[in-house]
Amino acid sequence: MPSLLPNWNDGAGRTAILRFVARVNEAGSPDFLPPEERIATFDNDGTLWCEQPLQVQFFFGRDQLKKLADADPSLKLRQPYKAFLEHDIAIIKQEGKQGFFEVAAATHAGMTNDEFHLQACAWLAGAKNPLVNRRFIDLVYRPQLELMEFLQKNDFRIFIVSGGGVDLIRAFSEEVYAVPRSQVVGSSVKTRMETRDGKVDLLKLPELQSFDDREAKVQNIALHIGRRPVLAFGNSDGDLAMLQYALSGDGPRLGLLLHHDDAEREFAYDREFAVSPLAEALDRRDDLGITLISMKNDWRSIFPDEGSTFP
Amino acid sequence: MPSLLPNWNDGAGRTAILRFVARVNEAGSPDFLPPEERIATFDNDGTLWCEQPLQVQFFFGRDQLKKLADADPSLKLRQPYKAFLEHDIAIIKQEGKQGFFEVAAATHAGMTNDEFHLQACAWLAGAKNPLVNRRFIDLVYRPQLELMEFLQKNDFRIFIVSGGGVDLIRAFSEEVYAVPRSQVVGSSVKTRMETRDGKVDLLKLPELQSFDDREAKVQNIALHIGRRPVLAFGNSDGDLAMLQYALSGDGPRLGLLLHHDDAEREFAYDREFAVSPLAEALDRRDDLGITLISMKNDWRSIFPDEGSTFP
């Protein structure tokens, strides 16, 4: 195996990445980028970890909702809670990604940020993907862990920019991705500050603050990062605006799009995945200068070995 | 001069800082903090640089407004624009900090984020404080530059959390404070994504997204950083919530409050500064465990020498 990106097969994708990093490293060249300009943004669901049969956020929300429904059984009869509880994918797909994020958010209302964090960590430590019976956090993509490490070694600052809830991702971003919590951008709910016994906490409210998808990804990149990324990596139409934003800047740019075309080792889907389709970005990739990464051809392995010790 | 924090006089303030850093560094102690927990938040106006006679944001907004008024003289007759243009501090104080942030924000509407950044950099390179005839960026506090550098050397990650506009601070945070743009949190306006000639940009809108003061500082810390700071440094009641939030956590904590009591070398003000008073925090500091830093007694020098080369 080659020493750089060993789980990336030799091919156009790996070559594009290595050439891009070589370009920005070339001292004295007009393409050289100082470290502060080396901003890379990665989508999370479907780009850094498995999003089938549904995004992990859904399972977390459902499990939280189950607890609430034990206390208030009337929830079991009301949509969209009913669909969540019964794991009715058809209805959930109808509600769309934002719909299910809102339901999930509602299940966390009244919790402090610190309480949420502890619950998310506890849940992630055990929760499994029902299709493959492995923990969600073991279904991160090994080639992407390698890529992020490689970029960090080359002075890139990596940000995760996800439609998923920012605080759920922050519960594992440091241990699993080596990305600081402050470099995670995601969907969020409003909060209210409360002082109890002289202690200041933030309570989560059942009200959406930002659903971080499509154009909102670009707006939130500007808000959180304050700089146009030079590299963006996504896997769905929800990432297209972010890819275009990165590619619209001057100087060296790299836009990468992961294509789930590996039914044998992971899943094969694109246009038909209602919750988060890949269609427009697939059609426009050549015009926009986006490099397509084939999971099947470009990746030597998909998942890390069993036995990770998170948290 | 001592080798650590040479522009801090020996005294309770300097001692509190050195003891705090020693505590979090002590391997094996229950107070030891891993690097990811070492989050320090600093207010900007009046904490890191001079905010008299008014916050720098005001002067930037006024100069932008002058350009607009040249094109549309009717602005010169309407409040609060009139007060801005005439530098009528009494009226501006009446409008309050948020009022003048909103006016300033309105002057940037329609500009792309990239255009704003270039204008802010150009303005900062020359704009001077009218009271002392030195550039605003030369009126940063030397002891604070030392403190931030000292903390960074001790693996702290520093965030600026300001009521000022986030993108104005980002225009100098890296060169002047050595704080990456992504570690600046501040007031912000809404943006709209636009695609022109295939290029994606964000346009600033004349609508406030977040006025980052008081409780909003705590909410924005949670949103941007995702972790409770262990050290917070402010200088007004607008920073009190942030200080309380930092001090409410478990383990070692340090809350610092700068008192402008040095009329000779800078300015002496607290309760009477209508735009951003220091009153409640001053009264409650002992109960809350906040360490008061006296500019007069704790700081050996205030400003860097003349001749900095920003940008």
Q: Which ipTM was obtained for this model?
A: 0.95
User: What is the structure's pLDDT at A24?
Assistant: 98
Q: Name, in order, each residue with C-beta under 8 angstroms of A296's C-beta and a sequence gap of 6 or more.
A: A261, A262, A264, A265
User: What is the structure's pLDDT at B91?
Assistant: 74
Whole-number Å distance between alpha carbons of B150 and A19? 37
Q: Give yes or no for a contact between A120 and A112, defined as CB atoms under 8 angstroms apart.
A: no
User: What is the structure's pLDDT at B306?
Assistant: 63
Whether the pLDDT of residue A150 is over 80: the answer is yes
User: What is the structure's pLDDT at A89?
Assistant: 73
SS (H, E, C) B121-188: HHHHHHCEECCCCEEHHHCECHHHHHHHHHHHHCCCEEEEEEEEEHHHHHCCHHHHHCCCHHHEEEEE
Interface touch A241/B159, C-beta < 8 Å: no
Q: Give yes or no for a contact between A202 and A191, defined as CB atoms under 8 angstroms apart.
A: yes
Q: B41: which strand partners?
A: B159, B232
User: What is the structure's pLDDT at B310?
Assistant: 52
User: What is the structure's pLDDT at B94?
Assistant: 75
Main-chain dihedrals φ then ψ at residue B297, nearest 5 degrees: -95, -35
For residue B37, which of A298, A193, A174 has the smallest C-alpha distance? A174
Q: Got the DSSP string for chain A?
A: --SSSTTB-SSHHHHHHHHHHHHHH-TTSTT---GGG-EEEE--BTTTB---SS-HHHHHHHHHHHHHHHH-GGGGGSTTHHHHHHT-HHHHHHHHHHHHHHHHHHHTTT-BHHHHHHHHHHHHHH-EETTTTEEGGG-B-HHHHHHHHHHHHTT-EEEEEEEEEHHHHHTTIIIII---GGGEEEEEEEEEEEEETTEEEEEEEEEEEE--STHHHHHHHHHHT-S--SEEEESSGGGHHHHHHHHTSSS--EEEEEE-B-TTTS-B-STT-TTS--SHHHHHHHHHTEEEEEHHHHBS--SPPS-----
Whole-number Å distance between alpha carbons of B283 and B278? 9
Interface touch B202/A218, C-beta < 8 Å: yes
Q: A282: which strand partners?
A: none
List the single residue in A with minimal CA-CA distance to B157.
A182
Interface touch A180/B174, C-beta < 8 Å: no
User: What is the DSSP code (8-state) at residue B256?
Assistant: E
pLDDT digits (tens, 9 = 90+) for B42-94: 999 999 999 999 999 989 988 988 888 898 888 888 877 887 788 777 777 77
Whole-number Å distance between alpha carbons of A256 and A154? 18
User: What is the structure's pLDDT at B309?
Assistant: 52
Tell me which amino acid residue A223 is.
L
User: What is the DSSP code (8-state) at residue B226?
Assistant: -
User: What is the DSSP code (8-state) at residue B68?
Assistant: H
Question: Closest Cα of chain A to B230: distance in Å?
Answer: 13
pLDDT digits (tens, 9 = 90+) for B246-303: 999 999 999 999 999 999 999 999 999 988 999 999 999 999 999 999 999 999 999 9
How many CB atoms are located within 10 Å of the residue A250 CB? 9
Whether the pLDDT of residue A98 is over 50: the answer is yes
Main-chain dihedrals φ then ψ at residue B255, nearest 5 degrees: -115, 125
For residue A310, which of A164, A121, A129 has the smallest C-alpha distance? A121
Sequence-ordered alpha helix ranges (H) in chain B: 12-25, 56-71, 81-86, 89-107, 113-126, 142-153, 166-170, 215-224, 240-247, 280-288, 295-298
Cβ contacts of A200 on chain B, cutoff 8 Å: 218, 241, 244-245, 248
Interface touch A226/B182, C-beta < 8 Å: yes
Interface touch A166/B195, C-beta < 8 Å: no
Whether the pLDDT of residue B308 is over 60: the answer is no
Tell me which amino acid residue A110 is.
G
Q: Give yes or no for a contact between B217 and B161, defined as CB atoms under 8 angstroms apart.
A: yes
Structure-model confidence comparison of residues B77 and A151, the more confident one: A151
Q: Which CA distances in Å does A4 have to A7, A10, A153, B240?
A: 9, 11, 11, 49
Q: B158: which strand partners?
A: B40
For residue B104, which of B211, B216, B213 has the smallest C-alpha distance? B211
> Angle at CA A213, nearest 5°, toward A208 and A216?
80
Burial of B277 (0-12, 13-18, 19+ CB in 10 A): middle
User: What is the structure's pLDDT at A279?
Assistant: 98
Q: Name, in order, each residue with C-beta under 8 angstroms of B29's C-beta and a sequence gap of 6 or more.
A: B23
Interface touch A202/B219, C-beta < 8 Å: yes
Give me the mean pLDDT over the A270-295 stretch. 96
User: What is the structure's pLDDT at A96?
Assistant: 75
Whether the pLDDT of residue A244 is over 90: the answer is yes
> Which pLDDT band holds residue A310 (cuts at 50, 70, 90)?
low
The residues of B whose Cβ lies within 8 A of any Cβ of A are 36, 39, 113-114, 157, 159, 166-167, 170, 174, 180-184, 188, 190-191, 193, 195, 198-202, 209, 215, 218-219, 222-228, 241, 244-245, 248
Whole-number Å distance between alpha carbons of A185 and A165? 9
Question: Closest Cα of chain A to B15: distance in Å?
Answer: 26
Whether the pLDDT of residue B198 is over 60: the answer is yes
Give me the mean pLDDT over the B122-131 stretch. 96
> Which pLDDT band holds residue A90 (cuts at 50, 70, 90)?
confident
Domains of chain A with bracketed CATH = 12-52+136-298 (3.40.50.1000)
Q: Which CA distances in Å does B283 have to A195, B236, B292?
A: 18, 12, 11
For residue A161, which of A204, A221, A105, A115 has the smallest C-alpha distance? A221
List the single residue in B with minimal CA-CA distance to A215.
B193
Q: Give yes or no for a contact between A237 and A281, defined as CB atoms under 8 angstroms apart.
A: yes
User: What is the structure's pLDDT at B17?
Assistant: 98
Structure-model confidence comparison of residues B40 and B87, the more confident one: B40
Cβ contacts of B170 on chain A, cutoff 8 Å: 226
H or E stretch at B204 = strand B199-210
For residue B217, which of B163, B288, B181 has the smallest C-alpha distance? B163
Q: Name, in order, each residue with C-beta under 8 angstroms of B86's C-beta and a sequence gap of 6 or more.
A: none
List the single residue in B with minimal CA-CA distance to A199.
B248
Whether the pLDDT of residue B131 is over 50: the answer is yes
Exposure class string for A275-308: b at 16+ Cβ within 10 A, else e: bbbbeebbeebeebebbbbbbbebbbebbbeeee
> Which pLDDT band holds residue A311 (cuts at 50, 70, 90)?
very low
Question: Closest Cα of chain A to B219: distance in Å?
Answer: 7
> Angle at CA B20, nearest 5°, toward B17 and B23?
150
Whole-number Å distance between alpha carbons of A181 and A174? 7
Q: A233: which strand partners?
A: A42, A256
SS3 of residue B258 by DSSP: strand
User: What is the structure's pLDDT at B233?
Assistant: 99
Q: B40: which strand partners?
A: B158, B231
User: What is the structure's pLDDT at B1?
Assistant: 61
